[in-house]
Amino acid sequence: ITLTASQLKAYGEPAVRKLTDSAKGAGKVSGMSKAEVDAYIAGVKVEVDAISKSRLQAQGGPVIQEQAPLSTPETSSPTSPIVALEKTPEPVRLIKGEADAAALFSDSTFPIEPADLIQRTKDVIELGFGTKDGGACLAEDFEFIAAVVGPLGREEYLGALANFKLEDAFPDMNPQFYGWSVDPFATNRVMFFSRSVATHTEPFMGKPATGKRLELPPQCFHVDFNDEGLIRELGFYVVDRRVGNTGGLGGAFGYMYGTGNPIPIPECQPYKKSKRFRLLSLIGRVGSSMKRKS
């Protein structure tokens, strides 16, 4: 029975336990005495302790080189069973049409690692996307872009958010962010979702509090960074307008409509088909009906 140093480092005490069981079984099969098995196990434990001590002392130093298999001439036998400790992971199977994200990430030249970029995104969220740090987290060429608003430059964006004062009107506002990921096709972009909820307990846009509990539809956000970790682009889009009680509207428009204060423009109202689109849909339905009858 043999166990290499790298296997001991990788598996530690569980490897010793597995080796112990295998050694005992080997003793029964090969005729090893109990004393010989116990002596072998004791020797293995000494080697494990030495490797663990060396690892702790190194504290990030070079990896311990591969050592010869641990065995004793007295107890080892060419016919002794080998303990299987590792199983080679099977390659990830991609379905038809699925992008090979791993390959795309490996080809990326963006200097910030995906995990660090996601953490950076969370950091700038806590900074209010630039509203709580005077815009320090925003690049000079920053732009805000949403479904109908934008692109807005850095100063225009900061001025617009300062006018809304959403957190003052909705003190318990909770965006409920989730689903963080880095776009493998644009590795400087972090994408995530929100399912915002808030209660209108303070005046908003000159209107008194209504006490209404708002539930906005799910929205998909994207944040693009430059090499220095500053935001180059921020945007979001509603991904399911049938969810919530704000007429399918997200962002500030959702809060306006949800509290009965919508701006009198089509963009600040729930989606409504145009007359031409409704006419086109009607023609399509009539044509389908006539085709079935014929």
pLDDT of 251 higher than 50? yes
Q: Tell me the CA distances in angstroms from 102 to 18, 182, 229, one per residue in order.
A: 34, 12, 22
How high is the pLDDT of residue 73?
Answer: 47
pLDDT for residue 24 is more than 70: no
CATH of domain 111-279: 3.10.450.50
* Amino acid 286: pLDDT: 87
Q: What is the mean pLDDT of residues 113-125?
A: 98
pLDDT at residue 116 tops 60:
yes
Cross-strand bridge partners of residue 207: 204
CA distance 221 to 214: 19
pLDDT for position 291: 82
pLDDT at 56: 59
**Statement: residue 22 has pLDDT above 60:** no
On the 0-12 / 13-18 / 19+ scale of CB atoms within 10 A, 43 is middle
- Please return the burial class of 272, using the count of CB atoms within 10 Å of its CB with bins 0-12, 13-18 and 19+: exposed
Per residue in 187-208, pLDDT tens? Answer: 999 999 999 999 999 999 889 9
12-23 burial by CB neighbour count: b if 16+ within 10 A, else e?
Answer: eeebbeebbebb
Question: pLDDT tens for residues 265-292?
Answer: 999 999 999 999 999 999 988 888 888 8
Domain with CATH 3.10.450.50 in the chain: 111-279
Reply yes or no on whether the pLDDT at 28 is more than 80: no
Which pTM was predicted?
Answer: 0.67
